[in-house]
Amino acid sequence: MLKLLKKIFFNDLQAKNSKNKENKKNPKPTYSHIEEEFSKCADITKKEYPQIHIQLMYFEYMIAKDMVEKVLFSKIDKLNEEEIESFFSHSQFKISSDGKEVVNALLAGNVIIFHQDQTYIFAAINLQTRAIQTAESETIITGSHDAFNEDINTNLSLVRRRVKSSKLKVLKYSIGKITKNTVYILYIEDLAKQDLVNELKNRMENIKIDAIYDVNMLVQLIEEYPTSPFPQIFTTERPDVMSSKLTEGKIIGLMSNSPYAFSAPATFFDFVHSPDDYNQRWLTGSLIRIFRLFAFFITVTLTALYVSITTFHYAMVPELLLPTLVKSRSNVPFPPIIEALIMEFTIELLREAGARLPTKVGQTIGIVGGIVIGSASVEAGITSNILIIFVAVSAISSFVIPSYVMSSSVRIIRFGFILMAGFLGNLGISIALGFLVLSLTSLTSLKTPYLWPISPTHPSNWLDTLIRAPLSTLNNESNISKKKKNSNKNKR
């Protein structure tokens, strides 16, 4: 009996407690509750119409003032008690009994209207966004110049304008416990592999983070190998690139307040291809693409090769060049490895300074760093002028890689190559190359091998990997379906 009473009493109490908790967590959206929720928020605007018992709450700087003035305020001013009900029956006013929803709506830039027991949400959002501008970090010569901006709807429209298909599906997520960013996942239903879509969905749903501000942060939460120096998800600010990724059967993602979009799965070659390759004639495009791949190897190995040759393999220097090299090295008090590391470090500092400073000052930094420091350090005997050439060519080659994230990664691994060359000469460079390959072949992006289609090998897809074959061979209907078939079959 006692047990039964206890059970009834405690169960009842428990139920009451949970209800209270729930209520506390999600209270009814009354004026006083919302006011309490936004206490100590000096930026909130409250407006009252005591004669008709209407109260408004909004953030003035987030609403479309003119429209709200015309459609809402001026009309409420003229309202009398009898007209209120019919006025709020218009479709612009959404009744809400969910406290959380009202709070979110207010934060999003809507006007909240309280009348007696009812709470209405009036859509008035007018967030100031940048106009559509040209891409800053991925400039191209030919082709479209528009870039994404911070408004997710604008970004979505930029993609939709290019891919006019009902097969383009959009999934919506809210990421970040505090920042509550909207993320749209886009894919073309018949082209994207459903397994991959599900995998990405799964990863998106499992993101547990308080705050996130950019797509470049988001991708770090969904990639498979966060410790690898190489990016595994491709990000860009170009809508044309993202649209082409969609037609390749990839999945893309847009995030509110971020001018970048991501695409997955990504392969290494996505990061070294540029939209310019497709806008130029195929021979030019192919040649530039091959140069770019060479640039990758140059940036990784050139300075290391200098260190290796000047430390261990002097025999590799041609007889005519040897006196110049010896003369240029004779004033330098450091071993080549230290000399190279100092110069590479300086170049990295210059690059970072150039990137952080305003354009005009940035250019000055380039001149001061490149010419003044370069020639002065040679004259001062800190470094040899041949090393300056090697380091400069190596740095320029790194800038040839269109993806900033990838070129940054490449610059980091270059230091590893220099160290290996300093310790083991040419053999060290080979070993470092081996580790580079091992690391690249081990990576996958959304379960797709990172070096696809080179390894695993699918020569039929090489036409758009190492070279850029004529568009007629790449971009006709049968090829797209073939590509889809191959990518679905082979991306394991």
**Smallest distance, Å, CB 307 to other proteins?**
14
Type of residue found at 232: Q
DSSP string, 336-396: HHHHHHHHHHHHHHHHHHHHHS-HHHHHHHHHIIIIIIHHHHHHTTSS-HHHHHHHHHHHH
- Give which of 180, 157, 40 is closest to 105, Cα–Cα: 180
**Smallest distance, Å, CB 310 to other proteins?**
13
Q: Are 58 and 67 in contact (CB under 8 A)?
A: no
Please say which residue, 153 or 430, places its beta carbon nearer to other proteins.
Answer: 430
Q: Are 233 and 263 in contact (CB under 8 A)?
A: yes
Please say which residue, 18 or 457, places its beta carbon nearer to other proteins.
Answer: 457
In what helix (H) or strand (E) does residue 479 lie, and over which residues does it extend? helix 477-490
Please say which residue, 99 or 453, places its beta carbon nearer to other proteins.
Answer: 453
Peptide bond into 333 cis (omega under 30): no
Angle at 303 between CA 298 and CA 308, to 5 degrees: 115
Q: Are 92 and 104 in contact (CB under 8 A)?
A: no
Please say which residue, 385 or 426, places its beta carbon nearer to other proteins.
Answer: 426
349: left (phi over 0), alpha (psi -120 to 50) or beta: alpha
HSE-up of residue 61 (Cα within 13 Å, Cβ side): 5
Please say which residue, 72 or 305, places its beta carbon nearer to other proteins.
Answer: 305
Q: Which residues bind other proteins (CB under 8 A)?
A: 312-313, 315-318, 321, 424-427, 429-431, 433-435, 437-438, 440-442, 449, 451, 454-457, 459, 492
Q: Are 111 and 93 in contact (CB under 8 A)?
A: no
**Smallest distance, Å, CB 424 to other proteins?**
7
Please say which residue, 381 or 456, places its beta carbon nearer to other proteins.
Answer: 456
**Smallest distance, Å, CB 334 to other proteins?**
19
Please say which residue, 313 or 327, places its beta carbon nearer to other proteins.
Answer: 313
What is each CA distance from 440 to 50, 267, 268, 308, in whole angstroms? 69, 10, 8, 24
**Smallest distance, Å, CB 262 to other proteins?**
25
What size, in residues, is the chain?
Answer: 492
**Smallest distance, Å, CB 441 to other proteins?**
4
Please say which residue, 71 or 317, places its beta carbon nearer to other proteins.
Answer: 317
**Smallest distance, Å, CB 370 to other proteins?**
23
Q: Are 275 and 238 in contact (CB under 8 A)?
A: yes
**Smallest distance, Å, CB 278 to other proteins?**
25
